[in-house]
């Protein structure tokens, strides 16, 4: 018998259906991680359906171009190394079929985890897969929303601060500093979901904490490792020695590291884009919505390249058959660009210039004070 649960996510009803043949751990992980959202009270049809099973549904493959992308009626299949996802648009509903299974060889499992910067097996990455390969792509189909690569948190007035920029520039570090030590409430770690009215929706994917986020922060390190195994701790030490602070990370429930987590949308007030450059001092300047939008979409496209490729392959294959694609990448990106510019026109946009060799603790101290002054 299939188990079903429903949640309200980004103003949509998302229904998860778990097949009886899947590993119980998958259901446990997904319910735990997605369960940070409010349960949906809607009795109507769900806008987004996620079917989780051991194998892909019995769908007819129409084309395979390239080998990791297959075409089916009303959609396509993304083939990853250890799992696959079917995406279909069926009678107004967006349907995702996630096929994921455990490797039965314990040695292979361990070596795979040791090679993973999060020390996760594919089963343990089920939540990560949902947020990055299902929820984020679902936003492409929402005509009223767009994405920004940014962390998000709210102040005491329920106003949202977005911290944008490329990977490794300090977004998560600031989020951790302000939401643990300051009076801010966690809203999103890596990808912000925003509508045309300037509402930022909770994206409660577990924050990904890197080695550099733990520098001079023993309290946070204790929180992250207090319930982890010796093998997990060894893997962290080993990878950190080999690959450095950026080569090791752990995902952690926001409820375990933050005292305040929001699961309701709030209005965007400030957008701060971080950049590192050869300079002597930290400088905060205002920028136009147009510049902020252009910079944001350059970064966003690099973050979403994998799914964007599948859309382009889908459009290519539809041109071969003369059929209509379920999504146009060009139209989606243009829509996001227009919505971003209009939304940012109503808020304050800033560029924060950070010296390349600035001490990490000084960065957190100075920038936290700057954000406090804006508040």
pLDDT tens for each residue of 181-205: 888 999 999 999 999 999 999 999 9
**285: Cβ–Cβ under 8 A, 6 or more apart, which residues?**
350, 351, 353
Query: CB–CB of 68/22 below 8 Å?
Result: no
**DSSP3 helix / strand / coil % (the chain, rounded to 5):** 40, 30, 35
> What stretch of H or E contains 99?
strand 93-100
Taken as a whole, the chain contains a residue count of: 375
- Please report the pLDDT score of residue 103 as a whole number: 67
Rounded Cα distance, 38 and 114, in Å: 34
Rounded Cα distance, 56 and 77, in Å: 9
Phi, psi of 315 (to 5 degrees): -65, -40
- Take residue 6 and report the two structure tokens written for it: 């429903």
Rounded Cα distance, 292 and 276, in Å: 16
Burial code (b: 16+ CB inside 10 Å, e: under 16) for 234-248 equals ebbeebbeeeeeeeb
**375: Cβ–Cβ under 8 A, 6 or more apart, which residues?**
155, 161
Bigger pLDDT: 112 vs 240: 240
pLDDT reading at 238 higher than 70 = yes
**In this predicted model, what pLDDT tens digit does every residue of 245-281 receive, in sequence order?**
999 999 999 998 988 999 899 999 999 999 999 999 9
Query: CB–CB of 189/229 below 8 Å?
Result: no
- Take residue 186 and report the two structure tokens written for it: 């966690």
Phi, psi of 167 (to 5 degrees): -65, 140
- Take residue 110 and report the two structure tokens written for it: 């361990």
> What stretch of H or E contains 227?
none
pLDDT reading at 223 higher than 90 = no
- Please report the pLDDT score of residue 189 as a whole number: 93
pLDDT, the chain, mean = 93
Rounded Cα distance, 249 and 167, in Å: 13
**151: Cβ–Cβ under 8 A, 6 or more apart, which residues?**
162, 163, 171, 172, 174, 175, 188, 189, 190, 192
Q: Taking residues 1-13, report their average pLDDT.
A: 90
For each of the domains in the chain, give its residue range(s) and CATH number, in order of start: 3-109 (no CATH), 143-207+252-375 (3.40.50)
Tell which residue, 205, 173, 139, has the closest CA to residue 354: 173
- Please report the pLDDT score of residue 259 as a whole number: 82
pLDDT reading at 102 higher than 80 = no
Query: CB–CB of 30/126 below 8 Å?
Result: yes
Tell which residue, 168, 96, 103, 165, has the closest CA to residue 133: 96
Q: Taking residues 130-150, report their average pLDDT.
A: 97
pLDDT reading at 106 higher than 90 = no
For a pLDDT cut of 70, what percent of the chain falls above it? 99
Q: Taking residues 104-112, report their average pLDDT.
A: 78
Phi, psi of 319 (to 5 degrees): -65, -35
Tell which residue, 289, 276, 291, has the closest CA to residue 343: 289
- Take residue 31 and report the two structure tokens written for it: 């319910």
pLDDT reading at 345 higher than 70 = yes
- Please report the pLDDT score of residue 4 as a whole number: 92
Query: CB–CB of 159/267 below 8 Å?
Result: yes
Rounded Cα distance, 168 and 180, in Å: 19
Tell which residue, 71, 200, 79, 206, has the closest CA to residue 146: 200
Rounded Cα distance, 5 and 52, in Å: 12
């Amino acid at each position: 018998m299939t188990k079903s649960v429903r949640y309200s996510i980004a103003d949509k009803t998302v229904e998860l259906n778990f097949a009886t043949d899947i590993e119980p751990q998958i259901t446990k992980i997904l319910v735990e991680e997605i369960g940070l959202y409010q349960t949906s009270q809607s009795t109507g049809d769900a806008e987004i359906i996620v079917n989780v099973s051991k194998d892909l549904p019995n769908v007819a493959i129409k084309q395979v171009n390239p080998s990791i992308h297959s075409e089916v009626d009303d959609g396509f299949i993304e083939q990853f190394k250890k799992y696959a996802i079917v995406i279909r648009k069926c009678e107004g509903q967006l349907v995702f079929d996630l096929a994921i299974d455990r490797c039965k060889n314990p040695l292979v499992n361990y070596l795979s985890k040791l090679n993973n910067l999060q020390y996760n097996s594919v089963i343990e990455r089920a939540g990560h897969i949902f947020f990055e390969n299902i929820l984020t792509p679902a936003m492409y189909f929402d005509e009223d929303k767009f994405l920004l690569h940014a962390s998000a948190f709210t102040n005491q007035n329920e106003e949202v601060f977005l911290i944008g920029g490329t990977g490794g520039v300090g977004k998560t570090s600031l989020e951790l500093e302000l939401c643990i030590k300051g009076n801010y409430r966690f809203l999103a770690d890596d990808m912000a979901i925003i509508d045309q009215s300037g509402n930022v929706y909770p994206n409660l994917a577990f924050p990904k904490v890197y080695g550099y986020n733990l520098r001079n922060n023993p309290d946070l390190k204790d929180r992250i490792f207090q319930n982890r195994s010796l093998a997990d701790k060894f893997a962290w030490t080993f990878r950190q020695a080999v690959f450095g602070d950026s080569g090791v990370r752990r995902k952690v429930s926001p409820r375990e590291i933050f005292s305040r987590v929001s699961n309701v949308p709030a209005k965007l007030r400030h957008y701060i884009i971080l950049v590192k450059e050869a300079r002597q001092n930290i400088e905060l300047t205002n920028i136009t919505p147009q510049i902020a939008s252009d910079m944001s979409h350059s970064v966003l496209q690099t973050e979403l390249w994998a799914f964007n490729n599948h859309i382009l392959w889908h459009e290519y294959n539809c041109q071969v058959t003369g059929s209509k694609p379920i999504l146009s990448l060009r139209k989606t990106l243009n829509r996001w660009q227009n919505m971003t510019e209009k939304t940012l026109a109503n808020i304050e946009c800033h560029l924060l210039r950070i010296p390349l060799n600035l001490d990490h603790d000084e960065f957190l101290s100075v920038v936290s004070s700057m954000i406090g002054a804006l508040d």
